[in-house]
Amino acid sequence: MNGRLREGLRGLFPRSLVRHRILGGPLRGSKIVTSWHDYPAAILGRTEQALLEWFAKNVRKGETWLDIGAHYGYTTIALCNLVGTTGHVYAFEPMLNTAGCVSRTRFLNDLSQSTVVPIALGNRSDLGIETMLSVRGMIDSTLQDKEGFRESFLISRLDWLWPRISGPNPRIDGVKIDVQGMEIEVLEGMVEVARR
């Protein structure tokens, strides 16, 4: 299906951000707060198949993972299931409304091993505010002005933020990054954390 047709059909889907039960795939039966308009593939359980398969082979109980660009929390659910209650997942999602949905998803699935952090990661020296275009619940640096609306959000580098939120155990076992064109900036801002 071409992109234009897909976007036309998406415009017909309900936009209400409500609880849905994931209908298929490895997360079948889990709950997610999103809309049919924003993330139908998550509700159907037809997204991130290769990534979830990779997680299943490489993520272990008790590990600490960062989900950078958590969106509505689909991969956060998968990571939480794999690290179990002895592990931890930090879900970084800069859009406040979307981060709120991830928090509700966390509650609905009883994922107490996760922390939702409503901040974007980048290469700033400390904490600041930026504005960027957003669409379907995500900040996206690849959008043109006519494609979305401007959203303000908090941003920091992980090297500055991690010691302030990690607590007594700063160990990180894995990182998933999906930040719509800002991956290089995220990596530049986590050089020291990655080195450790």
CATH of the domain at 180: 3.40.50
pTM of the model: 0.91
Q: What percent of the chain has pLDDT over 90?
A: 73
DSSP H stretches of helix in 11-118 = 40-44, 49-58, 74-83, 96-108
State pLDDT tens for residues 175-191: 999 998 889 999 999 99
Cα separation, 142 vs 192, whole angstroms: 27
Confidence of residue 147 (pLDDT cuts 50, 70, 90): low
Residue predicted with more confidence, 5 or 183: 183
Average pLDDT, the chain: 91
Mean pLDDT of 4-32: 86
Residue 6 has pLDDT above 80, yes or no: no
Report residue 108 as tokens.
């609905």
Mean pLDDT of 41-68: 97
At residue 133, the pLDDT reads 84
Cα separation, 78 vs 89, whole angstroms: 10
Quote the number of domains for the chain.
1
Residue 1 has pLDDT above 60, yes or no: no
Confidence of residue 142 (pLDDT cuts 50, 70, 90): confident
Q: Alpha-carbon torsion 103, 105, 107, 109, what sign?
A: negative
Surface-to-core class of residue 26, CB atoms within 10 Å of its CB (0-12 exposed, 13-18 middle, 19+ buried): middle
Report residue 143 as tokens.
């959008």
- Residues spanned by the domain of 49: 3-195
8 Å CB contact between 57 and 49: no
At residue 54, the pLDDT reads 98
Confidence of residue 61 (pLDDT cuts 50, 70, 90): very high
Q: What percent of the chain has pLDDT over 70?
A: 93
At residue 52, the pLDDT reads 97
